[in-house]
């Protein structure tokens, strides 16, 4: 972190900071990476709400536009506040470069546009965010990219699905939404690399505070910053992280096609990253407590949380993750009616599709987040009518439990 103001107009990164931050630890990087103080001496990260940037002369402008000089041009692809967020998230994921996007879906779309062309093939786990499934299934197919959906945890299905020379991308989420299935990321990445395939991991549920997929062999990490990176349910954003060469291709898509992050949202996410590890640990602690309690409740038929020893992905999650995250799903008695009555008897838990908020939220996946899936696809993804998903927030866990107990006790 440079203590002296940087007076060079429009200039990009300083080597000094890059060198220093290599030796720093997660919590320091989360607070300090990316901010180069301006001549105003501000302590907090400034928000650069400007669409374009100005030059000293016509020749200077030409130098920036021709890439002879590296610097700010236009906020669709170069904005100092967005760059701070990109540098900070890259540091936290252990990646060389990050490109920020307008939303999580923007990040997935940019990845697809960067690395796929007509005739290519993608293997994607069935248990991914519903809109991700739709993007591959509907829009990528429309442009001639084929996709095969496989079981996240069954490596042999990934292997069988590979079409040598055609398959370019493996895409997965681990742990998955909503059933908390865990992929063996090292095994998946070595299978991918045997066939010259890129492995992209949506790290939304763990965040780099709990899991760093690049260190397990993934090529690209995808984020919906909308969730835990913000952590307070305020803004939409996304990001792709990886090595500089791959990210240059993603950057080119953002620059040309335009799903860029707003500088204001980047500032919100910068603030979110500062407390990310503390929040993820608190979410994980409460989620484990809630999962243990739910397991003993007579109205609960099954609990899905990789922190439980009974969960089939527990051992793997323990190896790959620092904690088990904040999402707990469970099946209650009474199918849809039972699930809806538990939701409707809560008093403060928010009934909403979002997750990763400081506030606890509750969702009935079968009729909301996964409502558009066919019955067959729902069955394959384990989305039954009695399933509820809770994103455990930072309220007192005793109060969260009491709010759920009201409906559950009646079903028991």
Residue (111 or 226) nearer to ligand PLP, CB = 226
DSSP 8-state secondary structure symbol assigned to residue 260? P
Binding mask 320-359 for ligand PLP (x = CB under 6 A): ----------------------------------------
Nearer to ligand PLP, 35 or 227 (CB): 227
Structure-derived torsion over alpha carbons of residues 376, 379, 383, 387, reported in degrees to the nearest 10: 130
As a whole number of Å, the CA-based R_g of the chain is 22
For residue 388, the minimal CB distance to ligand PLP (Å) is 16
Q: Could you say whether residue 226 binds ligand PLP (CB under 6 A)? A: yes
> Which residue lies nearest ligand PLP, judged by its C-beta?
104
Q: How far is the CB of 105 from ligand PLP (least distance, A)?
A: 4
Could you list the beta-strand ranges (E) of 185-322.
198-202, 220-224, 238-242, 300-304
Please work out the total of residues on this chain that contact ligand PLP, with binding judged by CB under 6 A: 14
Two tokens, residue 313:
């992905």
> Using CB under 6 A as the criterion, what x/- string covers residues 38-77 for binding ligand PLP?
----------------------------------------
Q: Which residue, 75 or 224, is less far from ligand PLP as judged by CB?
A: 224
- Whose tokens are 């028991």? That residue is 412
Q: Which stretch binds ligand PLP (CB under 6 A): 137-145, 224-232, 277-285, 295-303?
A: 224-232
Sheet holding 300-304, edge to edge: 300-304, 327-332, 387-391, 361-363, 350-351
Torsion of CA 279, 108, 153, 308, to 10 degrees: 10
Shortest Å distance, C-beta 135 to ligand PLP: 10
How many angstroms separate the CA atoms of 218 and 192, rounded? Answer: 9
Contact 354, 324 (CB under 8 A): no
Inter-residue contact 204 to 240 (CB < 8 Å): no
Q: Which is nearer to ligand PLP, 103 or 153 (CB)?
A: 103
- Helix (H) / strand (E) containing 396: none
Q: Of residues 83, 97, 121, 227, which one binds ligand PLP by CB under 6 A?
A: 227
- Positions 161 through 220 that interact with ligand PLP (CB under 6 A): 173, 177, 202, 204
Figure out which of the listed residues 103, 125, 284, 346 binds ligand PLP, where binding follows CB under 6 A: 103
Rounded distance between C-alpha atoms, residue 163 and residue 167, angstroms: 5
CB of 266 to ligand PLP, least distance (A): 14
List the interface residues with ligand PLP, window 121-160 (CB under 6 A): 129, 132
The only residue of 231, 233, 238, 382 in contact with ligand PLP, by rule CB under 6 A: 238
Q: Shortest distance, CB of residue 31 to ligand PLP, whole angstroms?
A: 24
Stretch that binds ligand PLP, among 34-42, 69-77, 100-108, 332-340 (CB under 6 A): 100-108
Q: How far is the CB of 178 from ligand PLP (least distance, A)?
A: 10
Q: Which is nearer to ligand PLP, 87 or 202 (CB)?
A: 202
**Closer to ligand PLP at the Cβ: 177 or 320?**
177
DSSP H or E segment with residue 81: helix 80-93
Contacts 24+ apart (CB under 8 A), 244-250: 244/96, 244/97, 246/114, 246/115, 246/198, 246/219, 246/220, 247/95, 247/96, 247/97, 247/98, 247/99, 248/97, 249/114, 249/115, 250/99, 250/110, 250/111, 250/114, 250/220
User: Which residues fall within 8 angstroms of residue 368, CB to CB, at 6 or more apart?
Assistant: 353
Query: How near is the Cβ of 287 to ligand PLP at its closest, in Å?
Result: 16
The least distance separating ligand PLP from the CB of residue 195, rounded to whole angstroms, comes to 25
The SS3 of residue 296 is helix
Question: Closest approach of Cβ 69 to ligand PLP, in Å?
Answer: 34
Distance in Å, CB of 63 to ligand PLP, minimum: 36
User: Per DSSP, what are the bridge partners of residue 170?
Assistant: 123, 199
Residues that bind ligand PLP (CB under 6 A): 103-105, 129, 132, 173, 177, 202, 204, 224, 226-227, 236, 238
């Amino acid at each position: 972190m440079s203590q002296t103001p940087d007076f060079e107009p429009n200039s990009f990164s300083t080597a000094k900071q890059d060198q220093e931050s290599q030796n720093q630890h997660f919590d320091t990087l989360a607070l300090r990476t990316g901010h180069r103080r301006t001549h105003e001496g501000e302590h907090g990260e400034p928000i650069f709400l400007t669409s374009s940037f100005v030059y000293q002369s016509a020749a200077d402008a030409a130098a920036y536009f021709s890439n002879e000089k590296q610097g700010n041009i236009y906020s669709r692809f170069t904005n100092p506040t967005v760059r701070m967020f990109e540098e900070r998230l890259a540091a936290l994921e252990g990646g060389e470069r990050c490109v920020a996007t307008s939303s999580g879906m923007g990040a997935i779309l940019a990845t697809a546009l960067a690395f796929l062309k007509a005739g290519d093939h993608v293997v994607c786990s069935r248990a991914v965010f519903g809109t991700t499934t739709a993007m591959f299934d509907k829009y990528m197919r429309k442009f001639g990219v084929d996709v095969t959906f496989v079981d996240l945890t069954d490596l042999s299905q990934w292997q069988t699905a590979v079409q040598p020379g055609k398959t370019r991308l493996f895409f997965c989420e681990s742990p998955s939404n909503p059933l908390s299935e865990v992929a063996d990321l090292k095994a998946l990445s070595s299978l991918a690399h045997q066939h010259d395939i890129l492995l992209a991991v949506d790290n939304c549920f763990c965040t780099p505070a709990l899991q760093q997929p690049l260190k397990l062999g993934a090529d690209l990490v995808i984020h919906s910053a909308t969730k835990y990176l913000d952590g307070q349910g305020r803004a939409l954003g996304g990001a792709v992280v990886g090595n500089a060469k791959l990210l240059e291709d993603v950057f080119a898509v953002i620059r040309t096609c335009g799903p860029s992050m707003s500088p204001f949202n980047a500032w919100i996410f910068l603030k979110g990253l500062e407390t990310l590890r503390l929040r993820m640990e608190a979410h994980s602690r409460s989620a484990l407590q809630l999962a243990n309690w739910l397991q003993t409740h007579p109205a609960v038929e099954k609990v899905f949380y990789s922190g439980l020893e009974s969960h089939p992905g527990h051992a793997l999650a323990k190896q790959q993750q620092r904690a088990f995250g904040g999402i707990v799903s469970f099946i209650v008695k009474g199918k849809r009616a039972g699930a809806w009555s538990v939701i409707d008897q809560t008093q403060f838990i928010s009934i909403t599709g979002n997750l990763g908020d400081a506030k606890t939220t509750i969702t009935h996946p079968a009729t909301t987040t996964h409502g558009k899936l066919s019955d067959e696809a729902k069955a394959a993804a384990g989305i039954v009518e009695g399933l509820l998903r809770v994103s455990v927030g930072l309220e007192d866990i005793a109060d969260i439990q009491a709010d759920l107990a009201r409906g559950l006790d009646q079903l028991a």
